[in-house]
Amino acid sequence: MGHSDEMAAFLRIVDRGGFAAAARGSPLTPSALSKLVQRLEARLGVRLLTRTTRRVALTPEGEAYAARSRDILAMIEAAEAEVTAGRGRPRGHLRVNTGTAYARHRLIPILPAFLERYPEITLDLVVTDRRVDLVEEGADVVLRTGALEDSSLVARKIADGRRVICAAPAYLARRGRPQRPEDLLRHDCIVLHGLARLTAWPFRSGDGIVTLSVGGPVTTDSAEALRDLALTGLGIIRVSEYFVGGAIRDGRLVALLESEHASEEVPVWAISAPGRHRMPRIQAFIDFVAAHAGEEFETRPPAPPG
């Protein structure tokens, strides 16, 4: 077994969390995989994994080796894909990570067309609103909105948006409509916890842009839950327009303080690791999403039975 095969087997163990899981669908048994790691550790002179009865975990040396292994295997795959690009269409397994709101309102509606166009690509879609480490998660592409945090990654802007402040008519009927930004301090504002910058809402004033720190009785870690809570009449939200635009157009939500609100642009980024962005399957996916990112889709909660 060559070094690249060892690296691939090692990453399979890491990604699947153990030897038994890594052996499923592989020609190697759990025992063979365990011996492979032992030989690798002996050759390198360091411990790469800590083993428990239930799973394995990376040591600091193992984290460094896994990260470099991903880079090396990506470069090998990119090189092979580049020289064979003219022989066929993009193919292979694609791992995509994105947030719940973007997944539901932009990505999922276009996936059937993408997979129909590229039938030799298989997709693993991970949907989470927590910030993830692209390399650690083993993702090929991460789709995220807002400011970028890691400049070492390759990012392509695929769409622009803006934020809007809104609430349901039921909430406004019960609590009144805020007429000035300061009124929000007496209202129930629903925010994402763990993201302090999203609780500071910006407004225009004679002195420039000022921010108000808002809050209320409910917080959540899900942008999709934020929208659904607002639709129930629980409070006021400030979110990207792309997933409340339909609700505002049909009156289920009402835009607020539009002239005072300093609605900064909210770019949507496709992020990948250096080297991997040139792989045909990743290029094809990013190009397709960029071409369709502005399409409008409106999804409603399913109607109750009966």
pLDDT band at 261 (very low <50, low <70, confident <90, very high): very high
How large is the average pLDDT for residues 30-34?
90
Helices marked H in 125-222 = 134-137, 169-175
Average pLDDT, the chain: 84
pLDDT at residue number 222:
82
pLDDT band at 231 (very low <50, low <70, confident <90, very high): very high
pLDDT at residue number 159:
84
b/e sequence 36-60, b meaning 16+ C-beta within 10 Å:
bbeebbeeeeeebbeeeeeebebee
Q: Give the least confident one: 95-104, 181-190, 226-235, 282-291.
A: 95-104
Fill in the amino acid letter for 156: R
Would you mind telling me the total number of residues written for the chain in this entry?
306
pLDDT at residue number 105:
83
Q: How far is CA 90 from the centre of its chain?
A: 23
Computed on alpha carbons and rounded to an integer, the radius of gyration of the chain in Å comes to: 23
In the numeric block, which tokens belong to residue 134?
A: 């692209």
Contact between 76 and 2 under an 8 Å Cβ cutoff? The reply is no
pLDDT at residue number 84:
60
Out of 28-32, 145-149, 187-191, the most confident range is: 187-191
Helix (H, G, I), strand (E, B) or coil at 252: coil
Non-local (6+) Cβ contacts of 26 within 8 A are 9, 12, 33
pLDDT at residue number 249:
92
How large is the average pLDDT for residues 34-49?
92
Tally Cβ neighbours within 10 Å of residue 100. Answer: 18
**Integer CA distances (angstroms), 203 to 38, 103, 189, 221, in order:** 59, 29, 15, 24
Percent of the chain with pLDDT over 70: 86
Rounded CA-CA distance 106/293 in Å is: 6
Residue 17 has pLDDT above 90, yes or no: no
Residue 297 has pLDDT above 50, yes or no: no
How large is the average pLDDT for residues 277-294?
85
Helices marked H in the chain = 3-16, 19-23, 30-44, 60-83, 100-102, 111-117, 134-137, 169-175, 223-231, 245-249, 280-292
pLDDT at residue number 88:
56
pLDDT band at 93 (very low <50, low <70, confident <90, very high): confident
Contact between 125 and 94 under an 8 Å Cβ cutoff? The reply is no
Domains of the chain: 1-87 (1.10.10.10), 89-159+267-300 (3.40.190.10), 163-255 (3.40.190.10)
